Chains A and B, each alone.
Chain A
Amino acid sequence: MIAIIGLLLGIVLGVLLEPTLPASLQPYLPIAIVAALDALFGGARAWLEATFTDKVFVVSFVSNVLIAALIVWVGDQIGVGSQLSTGVVVVLGIRIFTNAAAIRRHLFHA
């Protein structure tokens, strides 16, 4: 419940305040969002399976976002940034789809 309220609050805040990221961080925002989505779907699935724990969610969220951004940053430094972001998006995308399928099974039993 806290998570959903916080998420909505964050979206409202973001739309109202329109925070501007420093230009050096801007390339990492999309990949961080995908990582955050992955953590969110994982948390939702765990919640439905009654194994949700705040701590695990917080740690997985922060580490997901940081690691995704770090991978892309390293890729940028060695000149394969776009390829590495593609890789990160593919892996996280697979996880998001699998978790979303599990959530669907839990919600609709189908």
Chain B
Amino acid sequence: MDLLNQILAEPLDPDYARVAARPGPRPRMRLALLGVAVACGVMFAAGSVQSTRSAPALAVEREQLLARVADQQAQQESLREQISATTAEVARLRDESLGQDTSARALQSAIAAAEADAAAVAVTGPGMVVVVDDAPGSTGPDDGRIIDVDLQMLVNGLWSSGAEAVSINGYRLSALTAIRGAGDAITVDYRSLTTPYRVEAIGDPGQLPSRFAESTGGQWWTFVRQNYDVDVDISVADELQLAADPTLALRRARLAGSGPS
């Protein structure tokens, strides 16, 4: 504390008093005084000019980063579209080469059914929509934030209740889709979701809601709804459109008997 006391007691350079107490005229250094004063002014001006100049530079940098993010997102989007177009092209070429005879038609319908089941093509139909949202002001799973397990239970409940196609926030779920928590966000196929979570399921609208309520997932969500302040809104829709899962591809598996390539 001695140091602080000294700073408080002696804020003025003691030399001022010492030189003033000396007899005779005080030493004058007008030129040096002027030089120091000018240097001081230049320093103030340079400092303020510098910080006002660097503020727009920071903003520009931020803008550039945002633009790059937007660019990358647009590129990702265009690549997804490219995937969809290529997939459609593959289907068209396959249909062409299969020809028109009876066995080919049977094969085509088998392929179409398999593709719809595997989430490889967009599908449409009636079903139910579940919109869930975190409890207001929640910070974690203890006070009503929805976590990955909740969505997993919801989706599994829908599958077991007879849903034929499910998507979360527009992301179609396939057999290879992972619903996982990453930090504060839930990801589907490694893409972050934002609340509210809108789960769409195509299935018999007359049976799906009641069977879901009886399923394990439905019971899980009844518990969640009764014990936490989360928003759950279940409705029936006449017409749902679910996009294809563009990430769907077999990377390692190949048809049995075809041998390693």
Contacts and interface: CB of A to CB of B under 8 A. Distances in A.
**A and B bound?**
yes
Interface of A: 2-15, 18-19, 21, 26, 29-30, 32-33, 36, 39-40, 42, 45-46, 49-62, 91, 94-95, 98-99, 102
A87 B230 CA distance: 49
B253 interface: no
A2 B37 contact: yes
A49 B17 CA distance: 9
A91 B7 CA distance: 7
A11 B36 contact: no
Contact of B15 (A12, A15, A32, A60): A60
B42 interface: yes
Interface residues of B, number: 34
B34 A2 contact: yes
Given A51-B17, A53-B27, A95 B45 contact: no
B35 interface: yes
Given A53-B26, A98-B8, A58 B32 contact: yes
A60 B10 CA distance: 14
A40 B36 CA distance: 10
B29 A11 contact: no
B12 A58 contact: no
Contacts of A61: 36, 40
Given A3-B33, A14-B46, A33-B43, A56 B38 contact: no
A30 B54 CA distance: 14
Contact of B38 (A9, A32, A51): A9
Interface in B45-63: 45-47, 49-50
11 contacts: A4-B37, A7-B38, A10-B38, A29-B43, A32-B43, A42-B13, A45-B12, A51-B17, A56-B13, A59-B15, A98-B7
A19 B46 contact: yes
Contacts of A29: 43, 46-47, 50
Contacts of A54: 26-30, 32-33
B39 interface: yes
Nearest to B4: A94
A6 B34 CA distance: 5
A67 to B, nearest CB: 13
B41 A10 contact: yes
B19 A10 contact: no
A5 B11 contact: no
Given A60-B15, A94-B11, A98-B11, A11 B45 contact: yes
Given A6-B38, A9-B41, A58-B33, A46 B12 contact: yes
